[in-house]
Amino acid sequence: MDEKDFDNMRRAGTDAARQVGEAFTQIDFSGVSKSIEKAVRDVGWQLSTFGRDERSPYVISDPQDVSRARWRMWAGLAILFFVTIPLVVVGLALLVFSPFSGIVTLALGVAAAVAGSRLVGKGAHEKAFAQMLQRVDKALGDRQSVSVAELAGEAGVPVPQLVSVLDEAISRGLIPEGHLDVAGTKKMLYLTDDAWDAVQARTRPSEATADEPAPATDGDDVGSSTLPEEAREVLSAATQSAKQISDCASRIREAEVSATLGRIASKSEDICAYVMHHPEVASQFRRAATYYLPTTAKLAASYAELEGHAGGPEAVRTLSDLRASFAQVDEALSKLSDELVLDQSIDVHSDIEVLRTMLEQDGLSERD
């Protein structure tokens, strides 16, 4: 083995050591700084639920899940401190005497660091999830439906965090008949199919009435009964979202955000009016109508809820992100409106040129 090979192997060992360092930096120890705050919340929650031993019959919550998640975290930490660190130290030492052995040892250290980090991260997530699900389980009692805001107050969990936990619990089958309705201005949790079906039965007639095609008028408006199916679907979705966004804008105290959401709703209505008269462009508006606008309506409702609880740094950061997202949607709708008008302008200019050419060919117009 010549000196060049030895240098190459030394550089490989250095790269392996760097990977170990990167693996360590991926471990999230931010929860340690919040331990005091969490302890205070735990005491408050225990006092609020004192004497209430009943749990919800509609939630599957195992008290042992917290212990199992904690053991997983300890296993990951044990791998990091009792396997990874010794392997890294030994590997670095072997690089001097036996480069190949050092590289292999460092590679094993990297693998152990990755495995340990994953165990710690997974355990921390499962522990937090199990603890919050137990709070939700105890706060629900035997209710079949409850507003998310009310449940958050009783369980001592922030609304955005509670929505995430409920969504995960439903997807994992821990709330077997659960339905989370966050589309409207008031988020609701339904724990049985019967409660969910009852709500759907009450709202379905009004939705059917709203979706019925309006009769054609004698004016310039085109009756929706004459529109293609795609155009009707796009217009229905966009109109509903625009109304929700407008309602949220009226409830938001911050003038700039309220104005931005108002512009989004107004631009959506203008585009809907354009699509009403030009249904052939409905496909260009479909993504905005079926995804961007409903998502914006949901985020606007979240902003209205968080606005009154913006004391913590996390809430402030979330509100800032929401403001930036609203500005992006506002800009995107302006571009979409310009593109639709540009397409029409191109068609109009083409028609004008054809008309002029035919008039000139028929001798009915003089050339410039």
- Give the 3-state secondary structure of residue 216: coil
Rounded Cα distance, 155 and 45, in Å: 7
For 166-197, the pLDDT digits (tens) are 888 888 888 888 888 866 556 788 888 887 78
Q: Are residues 155 and 83 in the same domain?
A: no
pTM: 0.42
Q: Are residues 165 and 225 in the same domain?
A: no
Q: Are residues 195 and 228 in the same domain?
A: no
The tally of domains found in the chain comes to 3
Q: Are residues 155 and 225 in the same domain?
A: no
State the average pLDDT for the chain. Answer: 75
For 14-39, the pLDDT digits (tens) are 555 555 455 444 444 344 334 434 44
**Region for residue 51 given its phi and psi (left: phi exceeds 0; alpha: psi -120 to 50; beta: otherwise):** left
For 227-284, the pLDDT digits (tens) are 788 888 888 888 999 999 989 888 888 889 889 999 999 988 888 888 888 787 788 8
> Which DSSP string do the residues of 243-284 spell out, in sequence order?
HHHHHHHHH---HHHHHHHHHHHHHHHHHHHHHHH-GGGHHH
Is residue 368 one of the residues assigned to a domain? no
Q: Are residues 299 and 347 in the same domain?
A: yes
Structural domain including 29 reads 3-139
Q: Which of 79, 105, 139 is where one domain is finished?
A: 139
Q: Are residues 294 and 353 in the same domain?
A: yes
Is residue 278 one of the residues assigned to a domain? yes
Is residue 161 one of the residues assigned to a domain? yes
Q: Are residues 21 and 95 in the same domain?
A: yes
Is residue 366 one of the residues assigned to a domain? no
Rounded Cα distance, 205 and 27, in Å: 52
Q: Which of 123, 139, 155 is where one domain is finished?
A: 139
pLDDT recorded at residue 205: 47
Is residue 12 one of the residues assigned to a domain? yes
Is residue 367 one of the residues assigned to a domain? no
Q: Which of 179, 212, 245 is where one domain is finished?
A: 212
pLDDT interval class at 206 (50, 70, 90): very low
Q: Are residues 261 and 156 in the same domain?
A: no
Check whether 368 has a pLDDT greater than 70: no
Structure tokens at 230: 């795609």
